[in-house]
Amino acid sequence: MTAGDPNPRTVRQGSLRPTPGPVNPVSRRDPDEVARRRVARRRLVENRIAWSRHAKAAAAQRATGCPGRAYNQLEAKLAAMLDAAGVDYRWQLPLGPYVYDFLLPNRTLVEVHGTYWHADPRRYDPKALTPDQRRNLLHDIDKRLFAAAKGYRLRVVWEADFRNGKLVLEDLLGPGRPAA
């Protein structure tokens, strides 16, 4: 290193090691930066664990072709309504990378969506969604597009319609098919 050299980390003649230079400010152990990185790592690990658990369950359903359990009470209620009406259906249909809640006759898929988690547009402003709601909304859009590309109609049943008694099976089954 020469006296007029502006770079303090240049290699001295005959030496393979650089001379000590200024401390990199990023490498300092700032407590706030350490805490931010720790939280980011924890979130990443939690998301990986949750995602791997979900991926394993979905892969098992796709591999065996077996429907999963009812993931919520709303699905169980809809299944009971379909049974009472004598409708043939398949529960938890694996299709491509997705698992749809129900497959009805005439290539109709039904998804049962909770008001909060899937951000019912009648109740939630699209500009004020939580990160989970935004993620679920994008996933729902992907599922809808995939179903349409495969030639299926996708119907959404909202939790509010169950709670208010506004769910009508004729709307799901299509015209010409009365519910018993």
User: Rounded to an integer, what is the distance from CA 175 to the centroid of its chain?
Assistant: 32
Q: For residues 115 and 55, state if they share a domain.
A: no
Q: For residues 126 and 144, state if they share a domain.
A: yes
Q: For residues 86 and 138, state if they share a domain.
A: yes
In total, how many domains does the chain have? 2
Domain boundary among 64, 82, 114: 64
Tell me the pLDDT tens digit for each residue of 98-144.
889 999 988 999 999 988 888 888 899 988 988 888 988 999 999 99
pTM for this model (two decimals): 0.59
Which residues, including other chains, have CB under 8 Å from residue 124's CB and lie 6 or more apart?
A: 133
Q: What is the spatial distance between Cα 154 and Cα 33, in angstroms, rounded to a whole number?
A: 46
Tell me the pLDDT tens digit for each residue of 61-80.
667 666 555 467 888 888 88
Q: For residues 165 and 105, state if they share a domain.
A: yes
Q: For residues 71 and 56, state if they share a domain.
A: no
In angstroms, the Cα distances linking 84 to 35, 112, 131, 167, 179 are 55, 18, 38, 14, 9
CATH number where 118 lies: 3.40.960.10
Q: For residues 54 and 97, state if they share a domain.
A: no
Per the structure, the complete domain to which residue 47 belongs is given by 22-64
